[in-house]
Amino acid sequence: MCGIAGLIDFNSKSNTNTLQKMTDVLYHRGPDDSGYFFEDFKISQVGLGHRRLSILDLSTHGHQPMTYGHLTMIYNGEVYNYKEIKIELEKYGYTFESNSDTEVILKAYHQWGIDAVHKFNGMFAIAIFDSNKQILTLVRDRAGVKPLYWYYKNGLFMFASELKSFHEHPDFQKELNHDGLALFLQYGYIPQPYTIFEHTHKLQAGHSLEINTQSSHINITKYWDVIDCYNRPKLNISEEEAIIETEKLLKTACEYRMVADVPVGMFLSGGYDSSAVTALLQSERSEKLKTFSIGFHEEKYNEAHHAKKVAEYLGTDHTEYYCTQQDALNILPKLPEIWDEPFGDASAIPTTLVSQLARKDVTVSLSADGGDEVFAGYDKYTSINNKKEIFSKIPRIFHSLVKKSLNNPTVHFAARKAGIFNADDRLKRFALMLDQNEKGLLKIGSQVFTDIDLQILLTLKPNRVITEFDTEITQNWLDNILAIDYKTYQLDDILTKVDRATMSVSLEGREPLLDHNIINFVSRLDLKLKIRDGNKKYLLKEITHKYLPKEIMDRPKMGFGVPIFDWFKDDLKQYITYYLNDSRISDGGIFSVLYIANLRDRYLAGLDVNINQIWFLLMFEMWREKWM
């Protein structure tokens, strides 16, 4: 795992010192080594910078940038099947000076060009400069596990693992992207390819970008899309065959991700996803796997005792830590530095804590993210289907009448009197959902601030932008929302959270459930193998029960919740009164002072509000103070 940064300056105003600053601000991603490539050409300057976290081949042979002939490469991530590719390349006459996957990637690109990416099984953000063709190529892995941003304005092209690198260049113009802000306020993250800054983009997962260093022409190409997996014909196989093949794919994916020349561990929550991965790994080795869990003293959020039961049954070397209010207070001011784009998932705090815990013993930790999106584990999937069925029973001729009733102040008052929590927001949202299909229900259900809210909240009205929520898929309702979640919530919330949290402490996170061979297969299975009689994640559960008894595993799904909002009532309240005060909001000129004052004061008075709205606004204002 590493950090990369680079530039093409068509104004020839950059220098090695600037490149070094852009790179070294990513020190946390790679404290073991650094390297730089900088050349002045007739038309432009080209710079590549690399920070290394040594995982494979700890010698200097893995140093980057790495050059082979006319190709120079920097890279963040891992290609797990590099040994097989290496054997294939040796048949073409290639020889190797190291045991690193970097050299294999570089020579694979030399042999096959951009088509080499189809051979890679892993997580990666790659930059390769071809001095003969004068082309820089960027590539991001299929699931988007590794981040890659790019910027282009006024003859300056930059790319990096994190946005903070761009701030180190004196010609970076940090203009707030109001469409990106609107997306953040809706979802708590900014979906690809958008970012919080103008002229700045996320390279989309499964895409490559080529920029000509002479003409500045940019070409972006898609090489993989999860939607293509779901659009293929379903497999006509038995349940037993599906279980056998899925288990085989899971084992292979897990074993691939244990390959390292440094200690490796596992994040264990006690849920099905992490328990399945832990069980598969421990069953294949005699030495105890190191596992790590975070718990809370607030029982309704605590899963640590479940994780401990799983660890004891499997015989892992388990470490747990109970997160306190003071821990949250210590991390809260650091969030805008770690997540240098506004980020609203409060579980970033315990994810950072468990990363700190693991880093004391290991350099690599596996995580089980993707299980819900691949195997259909979220409660919202069945909830969406239930809502769709309920709405379909209301004759369309009555829809406008029902909507009018749901938006009636008298109805809202009665709902509040009846004790319905956050009644106003829930009734308005229900009215918006009435005419929606499953895709629309997922979109509205995912939004913290709706389109209507934003029209009142924001002083500059956002444009209607197209996101993956607008994707069209031809298969069944579940395929539709699984694919969208894979490309939105999983990608820009879950994976962003884990990447920044782990990398903030120089820990490499690996995601076995996102091996593309797994989704290639599972996406073609019948819906009933994912949700059966309301039992979500059916297939993965059946596999897990081979290794862990049902009495340990069967319990209500909790997710990685965090009692941050309970804590707000005490010490954390000071953040709200400081960052969301009228004067500060007025000076910013971004939000309606009245809207925020009403929301803030209702919360401080103990009245019902959507607490996530408070949190998102707080996260943005803390980010704005740090980066604008």
Average pLDDT of the segment spanning 141-151: 99
Among 97-111, 204-218, 365-379, 471-485, the minimum mean pLDDT is found in 471-485
Which residues does residue 458 pair with via DSSP β-bridges, in sequence order? 591
What per-residue confidence (pLDDT) applies to 242?
98
**Residue 61 vs residue 85, higher pLDDT:** 85
* Residue-wise pLDDT tens digits, 219-258: 999 999 999 999 999 999 999 999 999 999 999 999 999 9
SS3 of residue 572 by DSSP: coil
Catalytic residues: 2
Mean pLDDT of the chain: 92
Q: Give percent of the chain with pLDDT exceeding 70.
A: 93
DSSP 150-175: EEEETTEEEEESSGGGGGGSTT----
CATH of domain 3-224: 3.60.20.10
pLDDT in tens, 399-451: 666 666 666 676 565 656 655 656 667 777 777 777 788 888 999 999 999 99
Q: Which of 453-462, 547-556, 563-572 shows the lowest per-residue confidence on average (mean pLDDT)?
A: 563-572
**What is the pTM (predicted TM-score) of this model?**
0.94
CA dist 421 and 182 (Å) reads 25
pLDDT tens-place string over residues 441-450 = 999 999 999 9
Q: For strands 264-267 and 290-296, give the pairing.
A: parallel
Q: For residue 597, what pLDDT is reported?
A: 97
Residue ranges at the known binding site for ATP:
294
Whether the per-residue pLDDT at 59 is higher than 70: the answer is no
Among 243-252, 301-310, 346-355, the range with the most confident prediction by mean pLDDT is 243-252
Binding site for L-glutamine: residue ranges? 101
* pLDDT tens per residue across span 568-593: 677 778 899 999 999 999 999 999 99
Per-domain residue ranges for the chain?
3-224, 564-627
Q: Which amino acids are annotated as binding site, given as ranges? A: 101, 294
**How many whole angstroms separate alpha carbon 75 and alpha carbon 52?**
9
* CA distances to 25, 160, 214 from 9, in Å: 20, 15, 10
